[in-house]
Structure formats: C-alpha cells, structure tokens
Homo-oligomer: A and B are copies of this chain.
C-alpha cells in the first residue's frame, strides 16, 4: 500500500478573515485602541505587516492569540486504531461515523499497515482474513444481532471517517507531537496531510507545523531518531 492509500483529508472550513482576526487579537492586548478600530485600521489591510507581528507573538509562546482561529477537516480512510489515538486530543471536536448506527452491508473497508503490505504472503493472508471477519459480521447481523453488538468482531484495521475541528494552537501542538517519528506511521501521515492542507492556504504556518524537536532545538524522547540531538 503506497502512502496515498492512507488518510484522505480535506480542509472544509476556516474563518473568512484568518489573519486579520489573529492580528487584531495580538494588537488588542497592547494597544489603547479598540479591537474594532484595530481590525479596520490600515495595517490590518497589509498582510506583510500582520505576519511580522503574528510571527513575533507566536515565537514568544503567547499562543492564546491563535486560539481565535478554528479549522475543520473532512477525514476518511483512517483505521479505528488511528481514530482511537486522534480522539485523545481533548481540545479537538469530533463527529465520527458510528459503528452502532451505521450497519455494514458488504465487505467493510480497512487499512493494511505497511509492514504487512510489504510482505506479499502476509498481505494475502491479511486480506483473506478481513473477508472472513466480514462474513462473520454479516452472519451476525443477518441473525438479528444489532450492529452495535455485531461490530465487536470488527478489527482495529476497519476504516472510519469523521469531521474534526481544532484551533490553531491545538493544530501546532498536534503537529509537534504527531509528526515526531515516535508517533505511529498512520497518524503521522494523517497529521502531515492535515498540515499540508492548511499550509496550502496559509503558507506562513509551515514553520510552526513541525515535529516538537524543531521547536525545542533538541529531542526530549527516550531515544532520538537523529533529526535533533538528545537533550544535553
């Protein structure tokens, strides 16, 4: 399975005036002017000036100013193993496809981990096994077992989809944690694609949507992957 078989991610919603809102928030803290005047002032029409200030504020770690921006993603083709990791981010909002209410009618979709994909024999067995699970699931639902109970045979590999939203502060935190090579490959690819979608529209964010070691200057995990040295 090539990487493009992993998560499908589409940015579906962001504020209509992202930069001006952050800029207004940053300036409001230090200005005697009203936020509405700041919002409508000359500087707030000048992208370059706004970016310069915003960049300085984020670098100082004053992240509350970027909480005002929330973005939403349509995500599909991730495994339930991956979604169980993602929903542990408690500052995020999720609307996930329910295995209780959505009954599978035919072979459920699933993800094959690369390590299995790369071994033709195991891959064939894996696919065959997914077929057997599907057969048993369908036997259970045909026998009148409700979907919410029949799903107990479905594997972690089964795919799910969701709408997920988060503010820019949590987006940077998510990237810092989950782009680290210690994160599992599937969620790393998912988060990378979320970042790519956002950077396509807001290129100035690319310096912040990086593994944590890039922000810290060192690796704080047990073992460094080599990208940055271990903490002295």
Residues of A within 8 A of B (CB): 8, 10, 12-18, 20-21, 24-26, 28-32, 34-36, 39, 59-61, 64-65, 67-70, 72, 74-77, 79-81, 83-84, 87-88, 90-91, 93-102, 104-105, 110-116, 119, 122, 125-126, 129, 132-133, 136, 139-140, 143, 145-146, 148-149, 151-157, 161-163, 165, 167, 184, 216-218, 220-222, 231-232
Contact = CB atoms under 8 A, between A and B. Distances in A.
A26 B36 CA distance: 34
Given A24-B74, A161-B34, A143 B156 contact: no
Given A24-B12, A95-B68, A35 B122 contact: no
B60 A220 contact: yes
12 contacts: A13-B20, A24-B163, A28-B163, A29-B97, A35-B76, A65-B95, A67-B165, A68-B165, A70-B70, A81-B152, A88-B94, A148-B184
A14 B15 contact: yes
A149 B32 contact: no
A107 to B, nearest CB: 13
B162 A35 contact: yes
B28 A111 contact: no
Contacts of A136: 125, 129
A30 B90 CA distance: 22
Contacts of A157: 152-153
Contacts of A80: 84, 156
A6 to B, nearest CB: 13
B21 A72 contact: yes
Nearest to A159: B34
A76 B155 contact: no
Given A39-B12, A99-B156, A232-B217, A115 B145 contact: yes
Contacts of A68: 13, 70, 72, 93, 95, 163, 165
Given A12-B39, A13-B21, A152-B156, 16 more contacts: A13-B17, A28-B163, A29-B98, A30-B102, A67-B165, A68-B70, A70-B70, A87-B87, A110-B152, A113-B148, A116-B140, A116-B145, A129-B153, A153-B155, A154-B156, A216-B216
A161 B67 contact: no
